[in-house]
Amino acid sequence: MNVMFAAILGGWEWVIVILAVLLLFGAKKIPELARGLGTGIKEFKKATREVTDEIHNAAEEKPAAPGKSVTDGQSQSGQTVSQSNNPPKA
């Protein structure tokens, strides 16, 4: 669908679309919108990667044998995910 839409619009049509966006949002608001969109995409990819890694790690871990306890000086290691309000810098 996106490829078909892009093929319909020629050079002048794109200029008109860009001018309409500039008029609607203003020149100062567009970079803020793009920055927010980029941050949202980055967070979505990070969450997707974390879930995928967690699924792979869970599939690779061996379940504990029945009857064995963890109290013999070894503790199970749990994976914690720290969350930060500051996005990572690229």
Domain spans of the chain, in order of start: 2-60
Please, are residues 35 and 87 in contact by the beta-carbon 8 Å criterion?
Answer: no
Per-residue model confidence (pLDDT) at position 8: 76
Per-residue model confidence (pLDDT) at position 4: 63
pLDDT of 52 strictly over 80: yes
pLDDT digits (tens, 9 = 90+) for 55-85: 999 888 766 656 555 555 555 555 555 565 6
Q: Residues 57, 59, 62, 66: is their CA dihedral positive or negative?
A: positive
Least confident of 4-8, 37-41, 60-64, 67-71: 67-71
Contacts of 88 (CB under 8 A, 6+ apart): 42
Taking residues 42-64, report their average pLDDT: 88
Per-residue model confidence (pLDDT) at position 53: 93
